[in-house]
Amino acid sequence: STLTTALLFAPLDVSGCPTTPEKKAKKALNAFVGFRCYYLLIPAFKPWPMKKLSNPIGVMWDKDPNKPLWSLLAKAWSIIRDQIGKEKAPLHQFFRIICPHLSMPPPETYLERRGWEFVINADGAPGLIRDPTLTSESLDDGVAATALSIEDIISYCQSMGYAQEYIFDTNLSLSIFIGVNPPTGTTMNTAGSIVHDGRVDARNKRREKRRTMRDTAFASTLKLQIADAHGGVRNDSPRGGPFGPAVRRQCVLQ
């Protein structure tokens, strides 16, 4: 009995047991990294290695008016990547689709629209300078006023053929909005208001459609569960339907 007791309480050797490593959560794309990836395509930057461009890109980012929008874009892409993988959701292709749609300055005209001049400093390194007399009214102050959600971003990209394998997760909240203020001294025009209202209506319709699909699926599942609970006895049974003698006898035996 002493040996039996010792064996019962001996520590288990799990060294040879197969273990399943926990899936490490992927790090979300940083807004600045997304900004840098897109604007590395500025023509004046192409001859230079990345380490030489750190300073000018940092200066651009510091003065960029679209930081909240870049954060939203980074979040949207990260959600797509986490589900289908970056091989099926190339980052550069994502930006090529969504940035023009949002009227964000393309790499080819970014410096000019933001009032920057590309220069080579005394040390032979690339840099940016801006005319100190420029006012905010003379610069591109960013994307016009709008309400935008992660759902809007992903839906538009899919409508353009991007990330077709992605399926909206009903348990994931995508209703993260930003509101971008219009440039100083301007108001949103009527056409812009119509576009904005149209986007909101379209988004609401998409949500209602998904909600209806979920409710329909739930109702079908519930009917099947009810049928299984009745043991598959038909209502037209000659023995008295779902609560005939056979069923009552089964209940008594239980």
* 204-244 tens-digit pLDDT: 666 666 666 666 666 666 677 666 766 654 444 444 444 44
- C-alpha 86/C-alpha 114 separation (Å) is 31
The answer to the question of residue 63 being in a domain is yes
Tokens found for residue 181: 């203020």
58 contacts 32 by C-beta, under 8 angstroms? no
Tokens 């299984």 label which residue? 228
Pairing status of strand 177-179 against strand 147-149: antiparallel
DSSP state of 74: H
**CA-based nearest residue to 130, from 185, 46, 56:** 56
The answer to the question of residue 70 being in a domain is yes
The answer to the question of residue 250 being in a domain is no
Tokens 């009745």 label which residue? 230
The answer to the question of residue 15 being in a domain is no
- Average pLDDT (11-30) is 59
* Residue 149 lies in domain: 27-212
- Average pLDDT (159-163) is 97
Q: How many domains does the chain have?
A: 1
- What's the mean per-residue pLDDT of the chain? 75
Global confidence as pTM: 0.62
The answer to the question of residue 148 being in a domain is yes
pLDDT at 195 over 50: no
- C-alpha 250/C-alpha 254 separation (Å) is 6
The answer to the question of residue 221 being in a domain is no
The answer to the question of residue 229 being in a domain is no
User: Which pLDDT value is given to residue 189?
Assistant: 36
Contacts for 162 with CB less than 8 Å, ≥ 6 apart:
89, 93, 94, 97
Tokens 């393309």 label which residue? 106
User: Which pLDDT value is given to residue 1?
Assistant: 54
The proportion of the chain whose per-residue pLDDT surpasses 70, expressed as a percent, equals 53
The answer to the question of residue 60 being in a domain is yes
Q: What is the CA radius of gyration of the chain?
A: 30
C-alpha angle 44/46/51, rounded to 5°? 105
**CA-based nearest residue to 57, from 78, 33, 74:** 33
- Average pLDDT (86-97) is 97
Confidence of residue 26 (pLDDT cuts 50, 70, 90): confident
Contacts for 186 with CB less than 8 Å, ≥ 6 apart:
none
142 contacts 165 by C-beta, under 8 angstroms? no
Confidence of residue 133 (pLDDT cuts 50, 70, 90): confident
